[in-house]
C-alpha cells in the first residue's frame, strides 16, 4: 500500500481546491494551499477551516480542529509548494493560466514529485506536455462539493507511469473515496455520459415527448438516479452544459451537438437555478 505523501500541496484554494485540501488534511497529510495573493490565500484558509469545523461538528474525523489546522498552511504562488510529494492543481479552467501555473509548479517541485490536475475537461496529455515530468503527471478529477462526493476520476495520460496510476488509486481510497481509472479522452467518463443523457433529455422536451418533470421522474423513479437529467442541467447551469456539449461535439463529433432548445434558452438568459428559470422555475 502506497501511503499519500506526508507533505502535499494544492495550487488554487477556491471551491474545489479548498475541498481537496480538506480531504488531504482528514487523511493525515500536511497541506500547503498556494494562492494568488495575501487576500485570496486568507480566503482559501477560511474555506478550509470552515470545512474542518463541519467535519469536527459532524464527527467525521476523530481529530480536533486544532490538530487538523496545525497541518494546514497557506502561501503565494507555485513556489510555496516546494517540497510537496503530491501537488494538486485546481486553478480556474483557463488553458493559458493552467499552462503557466503548471510550468512554474514543475520548476518548484522535486523531480520525483507528482502533479495532479483537477481539470474537468482539458487534455491531460496537453497539460503534462508543459512540464518536465509527464510520467509523474495525471488527472485527479474531484467532484463538487468534495466532502460529499464519493468519486475521483483518475485520468491517465499517454505517458503517465502505470505505477503512479496504482498509487493514485490507493491515495483516493485513503481520501475515503473511490477511484475510477479513465484514459485521457474528452469528457473523461463522467462528463461524457452525463452530457449525453442531459442532451437527449433536452431533445425529448424539444420533440414534445414528455414534460421535464416526467422525463426526470423516468430516471429518478425508473433508474434510481438521485436527480433527473433536466433538473441536474438546471443546477449545473444551462450555459455550463452548453459549453461542455460544444467542446465534446468539436472533439467527438455530432452525437454531442447541442439541441437548438438549449441554445435558445441560454441566449434568453434562462440558465437554470442561478437565474431563477431553466427547465424549471426556481
Ligand atoms: N466547480 C466545480 O464543480 C468543479 C468540479 C470539478 C473540477 N473543477 C475544476 O477545478 C478547477 C478549479 O475550479 P473551482 O470551481 O474550484 O474554481 P474557483 O474559481 O472556485 O477557484 C479557483 C481558485 O484559484 C485561485 N487562483 C487563480 N489564479 C491563481 C494562480 N495564478 N495561482 C494560484 N491560485 C490561483 C483563485 O484565487 C481561486 O481561489 C477548474 O479546473 C475546474 O474546471 C471544478
- Which residue lies with its CA nearest to atom 3 of ligand 1? 144
Q: What pLDDT sits at residue 58?
A: 97
The per-residue pLDDT of the chain, averaged, comes to 97
pLDDT higher than 90, residue 35 = yes
Q: 172-189: per-residue pLDDT in tens?
A: 999 999 999 999 999 999
The pLDDT > 70 percentage for the chain reads: 100
| Residue 100 Cα to ligand 1 middle (Å) | 14
Do 172 and 140 contact (CB within 8 A), yes or no? yes
Q: What pLDDT sits at residue 1?
A: 73
- Burial track 248-279 (b if 16+ CB lie within 10 A, e otherwise): bbeeeeeebebbeebeebbeeebbbbebebbb
| Residue 141 Cα to ligand 1 middle (Å) | 12
The pLDDT > 90 percentage for the chain reads: 98
Cα separation, 279 vs 205, in Å, equals 9
Q: Which atom of ligand 1 is nearest to the CA of 121?
A: 43
- Which residue lies with its CA nearest to atom 33 of ligand 1? 35
CA angle centred on 136, ends 191 and 182, rounded to 5°: 25
For ligand 1, which residues put their CB under 6 angstroms from it?
11-17, 34-36, 40, 44, 90-93, 101, 118-120, 142-144
| Residue 17 Cα to ligand 1 middle (Å) | 7
206 pLDDT band, cuts 50/70/90, is very high
Predicted TM-score of the model (pTM): 0.93
| Residue 104 Cα to ligand 1 middle (Å) | 17
Instruction: List, in order of start, the domains of the chain with CATH numbers.
Output: 7-183 (3.40.50.720), 191-267 (1.10.1040.10)
pLDDT higher than 80, residue 161 = yes
Cα separation, 117 vs 234, in Å, equals 27
Amino acid at each position: 500500500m502506497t501511503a499519500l505523501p506526508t507533505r502535499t500541496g494544492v495550487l488554487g484554494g477556491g471551491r474545489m481546491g479548498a475541498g481537496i485540501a480538506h480531504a488531504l488534511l482528514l487523511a493525515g497529510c500536511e497541506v500547503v494551499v498556494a494562492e494568488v495573493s495575501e487576500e485570496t490565500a486568507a480566503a482559501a484558509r477560511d474555506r478550509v477551516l470552515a470545512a474542518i469545523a463541519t467535519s469536527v461538528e459532524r464527527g467525521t474525523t476523530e481529530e480536533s480542529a486544532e490538530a487538523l489546522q496545525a497541518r494546514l498552511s497557506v502561501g503565494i504562488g507555485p513556489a510555496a509548494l516546494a517540497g510537496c510529494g503530491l501537488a494538486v492543481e485546481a486553478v480556474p479552467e483557463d488553458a493559458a493560466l493552467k499552462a503557466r501555473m503548471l510550468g512554474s509548479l514543475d520548476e518548484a517541485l522535486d523531480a520525483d514529485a507528482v502533479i495532479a490536475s483537477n481539470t474537468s475537461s482539458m487534455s491531460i496529455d496537453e497539460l503534462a506536455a508543459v512540464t518536465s515530468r509527464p510520467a509523474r503527471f495525471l488527472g485527479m478529477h474531484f467532484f463538487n462539493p468534495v466532502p460529499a462526493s464519493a468519486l475521483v476520476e483518475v485520468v491517465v495520460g499517454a505517458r503517465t507511469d502505470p505505477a503512479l496510476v496504482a498509487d493514485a488509486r490507493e491515495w483516493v481510497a485513503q481520501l475515503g473515496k473511490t477511484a475510477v481509472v479513465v484514459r485521457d479522452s474528452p469528457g473523461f467518463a463522467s462528463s461524457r455520459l452525463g452530457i449525453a443523457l442531459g442532451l437527449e433529455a433536452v431533445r425529448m422536451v424539444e420533440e414534445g415527448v414528455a414534460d421535464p418533470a416526467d422525463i426526470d421522474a423516468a430516471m429518478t423513479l425508473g433508474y434510481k438516479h438521485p436527480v433527473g437529467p433536466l433538473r441536474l442541467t438546471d443546477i449545473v447551469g444551462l450555459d455550463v452544459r452548453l459549453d461542455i456539449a460544444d467542446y465534446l461535439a468539436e472533439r467527438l463529433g455530432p452525437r454531442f451537438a447541442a439541441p437548438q432548445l438549449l441554445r435558445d434558452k441560454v441566449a434568453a438568459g434562462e440558465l437554470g437555478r442561478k437565474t431563477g428559470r431553466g427547465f424549471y422555475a426556481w
